[in-house]
């Protein structure tokens, strides 16, 4: 059987982006420091440091990191908004970018005029825009203001119109910065659903997001940056865990050192279905296996392990461990796998993160992994909240 390899649509090779940062920000200081002294008041800031990545067609990639890590600059480099100071950026196919709020809009033009302006910049002909105009306006939900100058729009209206134009150009590559966070919850959900449709249709999506839920729901690859350098590129679940370490000031060396220092450590968390296959999406009430891999530095007689299932906001919806379950445990030495079978966890629709820990109480050592795995739950009937139940309704007159 022949395996089809998706073509690379974005290739960055040793890309570096350097900016000049001035410390004399007012006119008076600049006049005083004219000439050679002025150089002392300018310094180089490297936002992206020698980044090399290949992105294949049809993948959905998340760029993650703390503020100032270089992820938005990297997205602009991919979109051709800024040029690299060194290295090369190669892309193929039609690209649509949602980067800064209102980028590509003229404030004195109406929403109608900006649709034609922005869509033409993105590569559509006049006739193509005519054909899609009504759909663009309908999706944006701002038909009452379409002939109003966009300088009078709220930030949410800007995003609605910009996103609607971008997705109706049918791009091969869609770039999305954190601008979607400006929209209201209903519109964010609408955008997420449309991005999921693009993903299913084979569109390549590269997005910057601070939302672990968005990343887990949409992406199949996570790239974490720190100070302009890639510290992780791969599995989304692992990327979310690495991001958490970066945000909390822990690096890979520190995490490895912490695990090595603990008498018993959790090295991985896997989410499996009842057939032992890795899965990311489950129906509410479906059986889920949570597999922990533990490693002990030496023989330990008394130990315990457990897990918790949390919402993206950090609220625990369910937790258990070997002590609560009164599980008889043999002494542990070396690598051990612990499987927790959860037969019927009735969670509401959404994304959930799994944390795990292991403890050797006689030796005072505890080690855990936060956001070690992520899974989503779907319900046949829409519900609200983190749990679900069968609900019937009876209505009668009096």
Q: What is the 3-state secondary structure (H, E, C) of the chain?
A: CCCCCCCEEEEEEEEEEEEEEECCCCHHHHHHCCCHHHHHCEEEEEEEEEEEEEEECCCEEEEEECCCCCHHHHHHHHHCCCCCCEEEEEECCCEEEECCCCCCCCCCCEHHHHHHHHHHHCCCCHHHHHHHHHHHHHHHCCHHHCCCEHHHCCHHHHHHHHHHHHHCCCCCEEEECHHHHHCCHHHHHHHHHHHHHHHHCCCEEEEECCCHHHHHHHCCEEEEEECCEEEEEECHHHHHHHHHHHHCCCCHHHHHHHHHHCCEEEEEEEEECCCCCECCEEECCCCEEEEEEEEEEEEECCCEEEEEEECCCCCEEEEEECCCCCCCCCCEEEEEEEEEEECCCCECCEEEEEEEEEEEHHHCEEEEEEEEEEEEEECCCCCCCCECCCCCCCCCCC
CATH superfamily of 8-243: P-loop containing nucleotide triphosphate hydrolases (3.40.50.300)
Domain with CATH 2.70.50.60 in the chain: 262-378
Fold annotation for 262-378: Coagulation Factor XIII; Chain A, domain 1 (2.70.50)
What per-residue confidence (pLDDT) applies to 281?
87
Predicted pLDDT of residue 1? 47
Residue keyed to tokens 């520190």: 254
Q: Structure pTM?
A: 0.70
- Are residues 207 and 178 in contact, defined by beta-carbon separation less than 8 angstroms? no
| pLDDT tens digit at each of 398 positions of the chain | 455 677 899 999 999 998 877 665 566 665 655 555 555 556 778 889 999 999 999 899 999 888 888 898 999 999 888 899 999 999 998 888 877 666 678 889 999 999 999 888 878 889 999 999 999 999 888 899 999 998 898 888 888 888 888 888 888 898 888 766 666 777 777 887 888 888 888 889 998 887 777 787 788 899 999 989 999 898 887 788 788 777 766 555 545 555 556 788 898 899 999 888 988 889 998 999 999 999 988 899 999 999 999 887 778 999 999 999 999 999 999 999 999 999 888 998 888 889 999 999 888 778 888 778 888 888 888 777 888 888 888 898 87
Do 15 and 73 contact (CB within 8 A), yes or no?
no
Instruction: Identify the burial level of 240 via C-beta atoms within 10 angstroms of its C-beta, where 0-12 means exposed, 13-18 middle and 19 or more buried.
Output: buried
d(CA 373, CA 366): 19
Q: Where in the chain is the domain with CATH 3.40.50.300?
A: 8-243
- How high is the pLDDT of residue 259? 54
Q: What is the pLDDT of residue 180?
A: 66
């Amino acid at each position: 059987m022949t395996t089809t390899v998706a073509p690379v649509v974005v290739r960055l090779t040793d890309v570096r982006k350097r900016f000049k940062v001035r410390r004399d920000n007012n006119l008076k200081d600049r006049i005083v420091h004219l000439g050679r002294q002025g150089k002392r008041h300018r310094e180089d800031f490297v936002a992206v440091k020698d980044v090399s990545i290949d992105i294949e067609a049809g993948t959905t990639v998340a760029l993650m990191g703390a503020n100032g890590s270089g992820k938005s600059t990297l997205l602009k480099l991919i979109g051709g908004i800024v040029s690299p100071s060194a290295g090369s950026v190669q892309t193929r196919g039609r690209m649509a970018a949602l980067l800064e709020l209102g980028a590509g809009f003229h404030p004195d033009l109406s929403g109608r005029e900006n649709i034609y302006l922005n869509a033409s910049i993105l590569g559509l002909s006049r006739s193509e825009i005519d054909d899609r105009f009504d759909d663009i306006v309908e999706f944006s939900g701002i038909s009452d203001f379409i002939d109003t100058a966009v300088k009078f729009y709220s930030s949410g209206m800007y995003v609605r119109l910009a996103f609607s134009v971008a997705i109706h150009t049918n791009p091969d590559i869609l770039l999305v910065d954190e601008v979607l966070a400006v929209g209201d919850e209903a519109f964010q959900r609408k955008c997420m659903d449309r991005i999921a449709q693009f993903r299913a249709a084979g569109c390549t999506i590269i997005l910057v997001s601070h939302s672990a839920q968005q990343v887990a729901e949409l992406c199949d690859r996570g790239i974490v940056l720190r100070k302009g350098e890639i510290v992780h590129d791969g599995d989304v679940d692992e990327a979310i865990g690495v991001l958490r370490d970066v945000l909390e000031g822990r690096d890979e060396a520190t995490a490895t050192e912490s695990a090595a220092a603990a008498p018993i450590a959790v090295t991985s968390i896997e989410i499996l279905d009842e057939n032992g296959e890795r899965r990311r999406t489950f129906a509410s009430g479906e059986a889920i296996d949570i597999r922990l891999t533990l490693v002990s530095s030496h023989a330990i007689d008394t130990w315990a392990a457990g897990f918790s299932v949390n919402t993206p906001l950090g609220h625990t919806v369910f937790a258990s461990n070997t002590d609560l379950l009164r599980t008889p445990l043999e002494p542990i030495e070396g690598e051990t796998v612990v499987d927790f079978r959860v037969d019927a966890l009735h969670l509401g629709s959404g994304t959930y993160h799994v944390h795990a820990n292991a403890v050797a109480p006689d030796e005072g050592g505890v080690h855990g992994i936060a956001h070690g795995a992520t899974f989503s739950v779907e319900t046949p009937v829409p519900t609200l909240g983190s749990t679900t139940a069968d609900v019937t309704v009876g209505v009668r007159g009096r």
